[in-house]
Chain A
Amino acid sequence: MVASPPPSIRPDSPELADQAGEWRSAYVHIPFCARICPYCDFAVVEGRQDLVDRYVSALVSEISMSVDWDTLDAVFIGGGTPSQVAPMLIGEILESLNDKFGLVDGVEVSMEANPEDITARSSRGYRAAGVNRLSMGVQSFDDVVLTALGRQHTGGQALRAIEDARSVFERLSIDLMYGDPTETEASWDRTLDSALAAGADHISAYSLTVELGTPLSRAVAAGAPAPDDDVQADRWERAAERLSERLIRYEVSNYATDAPCKYNLATWAQGEYVAFGLGAHGHRNGIRTRNLRRLDRYIETVEAGQRPIAGETVGSGWDRELERLMLGLRRTAGVVAGAAGQKLLEDHPEFVDAGIIEQREGRIVVVKPLLTDTVIREVLAVPPQE
């Protein structure tokens, strides 16, 4: 099985955290899903598989229309459900990225997949297409919870898919989601057990969030039980405790044995990335761009030879400084304090007093990750310093 990580490259090391800001990444969005889950508010479409070919062609055109850049250190194909797109088409996308930017040796290519799509055969296909890290949306191994979440797979299917994927992918990540009202403490424990036993080298454990405008949020507004903050806090603590048996937490919700997800680490380090596809968000030269979020408009725009940009945000120097802290504070490694961080420490001694943050060698580290946003809210209000 996987060995303990050597201390030099711990996923939560400050050196790695800061170095990640230098990496260049690409994010590619695949919006297609077999069924839209009631809690999901990503840019997704259901029952439009007829458009997959056209969409992938559009992606390829969008990539070719992009401004030039250097070779990429990481690629993340996210969704939606990328595993709804055939390996051959994923290969075309990666090829066009390679043509346009080039991919460094040892480039990390992650792809999200849903368990019901993954077999040994499809795994081999994606691997051959260039994917070298698979991120599987398991959410839970408990069928009661999976049904409540509106997922299309069972716990058993997830186990088989993981096994199949593991026979092909050396690097495999599992997404889990806790805090659905049907989930019990025992159920979460069993899910954690299974996830640990499955031998993934990376686990993301997210608290189920009621996002505005989703069917889940409407159900809650109409009186359905909502996830409870205190229960979710318990679950987070349980996950942190159990997963530490084999992995290291390097961000609020992310755990890795040795190698973290490069693309994610780069975003938290305020790194740059190009982004393609429906509703995708990019970040280059201090400008954050966002793509069109309606599928037909996206495709038509690209087919008309235009870039599908819906808007962009240019932050002032100070805004970017606050953003750097906002992103960096989510990491176990914390963030270099800088002027804004110093000001935060001066104005809010209560955070240190309450044991929420600590100062370590010029860095600010949130030591109660469950209260990260309490700190970030104040960070964002730090007035500009000369």
Chain B
Amino acid sequence: MSEYIRNLSIIAHIDHGKSTLADRLMEHTGAVTEREMREQLLDTMDLERERGITIKAQSVRLSHEYQGHDYQINLIDTPGHVDFSYEVSRSLAACDGAVLLVDAAQGAQAQTLANAYLAIEAGLEIVPVINKIDLPSADPAAASAEIAAILGGDPEDVLAVSAKTGQGISELLDRIIERIPKPSGDLDAPLRALVFDSYFDTYRGVVCSIRVVDGRIRKGEQVLFMATGDKHAANELAVSTPRILPVDQLNAGEVGLLITGVKHIDQIRVGDTVTLVSRPASEPLEGYDEPKPMVFSGLFPSDGDDFERLREALEKLQLNDASLIWEPETSRALGFGFRVGFLGLLHMEIVRERLEREYNLDLVSTAPSVAYRVTLTDDSVIEIRSPQDLPHLTSVAQLEEPYVRAMILSPSEYIGTIMDLVQSRRGAMHHMQYLTPDRVELIYELPLAEVVFDFFDHLKSRTRGYASLDYEPTGYRVSDLVKVDILLAGLPVDAFSTITHRAKAVQYGKGMVETLRELIPRQMFDVPIQAAIGGNIISRETVKARRKDVLAKCYGGDISRKRKLLEKQKEGKKRMKMVGAVEVPQEAFVAALRVDTSDR
């Protein structure tokens, strides 16, 4: 049967039209009626719709008739943003092929390359497609040439479609059937199914997305999760079309949903292999590499009583976001919270918003930091994920910071300005290669801390939006790092300290002090704000005491109005954090993000 199954992901750079293409494929195969259709149907999360980007990979089963046979196509729409490339690699592990989509007006971009390499590494068959050929600015010939250069194929072989008008969609469906190999599993072997995603449903408990590799699973059977050793009944099996349809069994090659009634979240691990208790497989499938968080930030409930709720929320969210890791953290300024690891700043923003929205929490986050490696004088090595964990310098023998290999794709005219930017970020050129005569691929080695924060914004503005960026960690390097402390009214505030390169410390300290001076409202007394390295003050500003805080009049006899106004102002003050005697607004804790340490 698996002869008539095709499993694939759509991969591309951000905004090149993956989700819109998925819309057309669903429409063309009749998975959804015209009435049910809406743009980027698979972007179901509110956040995805508001931002117009895909955050979560989504799978859907389609059926398509080809040469008199009914084919089952399991399609996964993946996100394009660099922060979510872990979603892409997990999706690819459940597939036998991938459609590599390129915007014909923009041409190949960094994540086109990065995702193409992921698919090649996973050994998948790649179907190259250019999209948006309806745009007047589309240059199909150039875009096809670029894809061909990346994949080493023939430009003639690149299919041209418009996910907007539907042009080329039926050819694409045929191409998928012709090119992508049928699943290779063995129906008669013991069951092995890969858990490639999961989420928590209030009624059903944990829902797992699985790809059956070998054997078959029937509703009601006892299953074993090989990594955790947990046994459960397969209470329900289903497929998403994108409506959830119950099925009685899933066979080798198929993709579907497994609901075991598990309510305990820690019993499920994405990347685990499901087998049958009655006839277990001897070897699990190759799982996933643990994702490597790039940045860490403290998340604290605004209301200290919400600490336990935040823990539960993180646990539930982790089911749906396998890349999330955290550990408890205590801050003198902010109380009890968690140090959370993220794949990038967008990921950080999304996680925070999902926690706030989906779990109704109000959170304060602290400035993000990368993880540093510290060798102590007794030769032991520790990793610190928060500047406040840096041991006293007398016991530190050596400090190392993480580096990345950054790939920048850009029109060649911007090479000069990109070089300048990278240099100001302590980067070194690794190599440079022309993809086509006017598009160049630049490879640099850079400290991660110089890349994750505002590097991309600067890159975009210097290249008028034409350059794109991808990066991957390459390991640690010794670096001349210092810790910058920020003192409010003479007291160091743990949540404000930062580790930075010595050459940038003064600039950073000044920037941070200035930013805080703008953000901290005037109080009843002068509030000195200082930046210090070791014991040395490198910068100082003062928020002068408030001098006037009184309304001129009582609005004639309208007493209630004045009262309401003052009460509202008091409410606003409740959202401040008391640091010693100083009222600090919550946004001050991420102020470091606004500090510009690049050359201006």
Contact = CB atoms under 8 A, between A and B. Distances in A.
A295 interface: no
A228 to B, nearest CB: 9
A281 B566 contact: no
Nearest to A275: B557
6 contacts: A27-B556, A206-B552, A207-B552, A229-B547, A371-B524, A371-B548
B581 A350 contact: yes
Given A206-B553, A354-B524, A380-B570, A370 B548 contact: yes
Interface string A198-239: 000000001111000000000000000000011011001000
Given A377-B566, A380-B567, 17 more contacts: A27-B557, A206-B553, A209-B551, A229-B547, A230-B544, A230-B547, A232-B548, A233-B547, A281-B557, A281-B559, A290-B558, A326-B562, A326-B563, A350-B524, A371-B546, A377-B573, A380-B563
A371 B557 contact: no
Interface residues of A, number: 43
B550 A370 contact: yes
Most central of A275, A282, A327, A376 by chain B CB within 10 Å: A376
B566 A373 contact: yes
A260 interface: no
A170 to B, nearest CB: 25
A327 B548 CA distance: 18
A326 B559 CA distance: 9
A367 to B, nearest CB: 13
B536 interface: no
B390 to A, nearest CB: 34
B286 interface: no
Interface residues of B, number: 25
B559 A282 contact: no
A312 to B, nearest CB: 10
A64 interface: no
B372 to A, nearest CB: 39
Contacts of B567: 377, 380-381
A236 B563 CA distance: 23
Interface in A264-297: 267-268, 273, 275, 280-283, 288, 290
A323 interface: yes
B117 interface: no
A372 interface: yes
Contacts of A268: 554
B290 interface: no
B549 A354 contact: no
A377 B569 contact: yes
A327 B559 contact: yes
Nearest to A264: B554
Given A236-B548, A370-B548, A323 B559 contact: yes
Given A207-B548, A350-B524, A371-B549, A330 B559 contact: no
Interface in A324-365: 326-327, 330, 350, 354, 356
Contacts of B550: 252, 330, 369-373
Nearest to B562: A326
Contacts of A313: 560
Interface in B521-565: 524-525, 544, 546-554, 556-560, 562-563
A223 B551 CA distance: 23
Nearest to B560: A313
Contacts of B553: 206, 209, 253
Contacts of A101: none
Contact of B563 (A42, A209, A275, A323): A323
A369 B573 CA distance: 21
Interface of A: 27, 42, 78, 206-209, 229-230, 232-233, 236, 252-253, 267-268, 273, 275, 280-283, 288, 290, 313, 323, 326-327, 330, 350, 354, 356, 369-374, 376-378, 380-381
Given A380-B567, A381-B570, A330 B548 contact: no
A374 B549 contact: yes
Interface in B288-309: none
B28 to A, nearest CB: 51
A327 B550 CA distance: 12
B548 A288 contact: no
For B524, B550, B563, B569, the residue with the greatest tally of chain A CB atoms inside 10 Å of its CB is B550
A280 B548 contact: no
Contacts of A374: 524, 546, 549
A267 B554 contact: yes
B477 to A, nearest CB: 48
A281 B547 contact: no
A253 B581 CA distance: 30
Nearest to A268: B554
Contacts of A282: 557
Nearest to A251: B554
Contact of A373 (B525, B547, B549, B581): B549
Contact of A356 (B524, B554, B557, B563): B524
B443 to A, nearest CB: 46
Given A42-B556, A371-B524, A229 B548 contact: yes
Interface centre among B546, B552, B570 (most CB of A within 10 A): B552
Contacts of B562: 326
A327 B554 contact: yes
Nearest to B522: A229
A24 to B, nearest CB: 14
A273 B557 contact: yes
Contacts of B570: 377-378, 380-381
A268 B566 CA distance: 17
Contacts of A27: 556-557
Contact of A230 (B525, B548, B557, B563): B548
A374 to B, nearest CB: 5
B549 A372 contact: yes
Nearest to A279: B558
A95 B553 CA distance: 29
Contact of A283 (B524, B559, B573): B559
A378 B569 CA distance: 10
Contact of B559 (A236, A288, A354): A288
Contacts of A370: 547-550
B543 to A, nearest CB: 13
A288 B562 CA distance: 13
In the A-B complex, the 5 residue pairs with the smallest Cβ-Cβ separation, listed nearest first, are A281-B557, A233-B547, A206-B552, A233-B548, A372-B550
B552 A380 contact: no
B582 to A, nearest CB: 12
Given A229-B548, A233-B547, A370-B548, A380 B554 contact: no
B527 to A, nearest CB: 13
Contacts of A42: 556
Contacts of B524: 350, 354, 356, 371, 374
Given A380-B567, A381-B570, A267 B557 contact: yes
Nearest to A351: B524
Nearest to A41: B555
B566 A380 contact: yes
A275 B555 CA distance: 14
